[in-house]
Amino acid sequence: MIILKSLKGAKVLLVLSALAVFGSTPASASPLNPGSTITLRSASEPDDGHLLAQTNFTFTSASFTGTLTSKVWENDESNPWGGLTFTYKLANNNTDCRESLGLFALRGFEDLLTDINYSGSGIAPRTVRRSTDGNQITFGFFNRHGDETLFPGDTSAWLVIQTGCTDWGLNQLVGLDSLEVIAPAFTPVAVPEPTATALVIASSLVFFATNLRRARP
């Protein structure tokens, strides 16, 4: 499940947590443990990975319109956990200049080691937080004053989540403020389609799987 939430100007205090790293990780790693918040950095990831699948979906609700692209990679040499890497790019397609975006969250990461950064051009999130149960990862698009930074017409940088998992699936639901809409994206754990409508929409997705040429996000 993916959750998008706009706080409409609300000030947010994010506390940086000290991270306990499982085992040894490269000096450039940015591990994110359950219950922790870190400040994100730019990185060239995934490194020489093989693209397994890709989806690009435009969604709309009563208050928000956007496009979400997701990719899943294997053999990412920069992945400190040696598993699959997931990348996401979010575009704010709203024409209403007041509909900025502050939070973007994905679910399906429980019981996994994760390393998180951003890559490429676009609006970068300032922080990322993981829920105490480890399931949800939330990117914060805020400046240091707590103002939202993903404005109408903006596109995010690639959001990179490196994991130790070897399985992936398609999650169906996206939350926009207090609403949920269908906007499928790849995550380590699949969520069954909640409605017949989801089945129809999911079947219309265009994605590429296996034997794709190597590419970067």
pLDDT at residue number 96: 72
Q: Is residue 39 part of a domain?
A: yes
Cβ count near 79 (within 10 Å): 24
Comparing C-alpha atoms, which of 133, 118, 141, 106 is closest to residue 6?
A: 141
Q: Is residue 13 part of a domain?
A: no
- Number of domain units in the chain: 1
Q: What is the pTM of this model?
A: 0.77
What are the 10-residue block averages of pLDDT along the chain, 217 residues in total? 48 33 51 94 90 91 84 95 95 81 86 94 94 91 88 94 94 60 80 43 35 42
Q: Is residue 141 part of a domain?
A: yes
Q: Is residue 208 part of a domain?
A: no
Three-state DSSP class for 198?
helix
Q: Which domain holds residue 111?
A: 2-8+29-203
Question: 105: Cβ–Cβ under 8 A, 6 or more apart, which residues?
Answer: 2, 3, 4, 5, 136, 137, 138, 139, 175
pLDDT at residue number 34: 95
Structure tokens at 186: 């790849």
Q: Is residue 190 part of a domain?
A: yes
Q: Is residue 150 part of a domain?
A: yes
pLDDT at residue number 136: 86
Q: Is residue 40 part of a domain?
A: yes
Q: How far is CA 29 from CA 40, 89, 136, 144, 149, in A?
A: 11, 21, 20, 23, 25
| Contact between 70 and 54 (Cβ < 8 Å) | yes
Q: Is residue 114 part of a domain?
A: yes
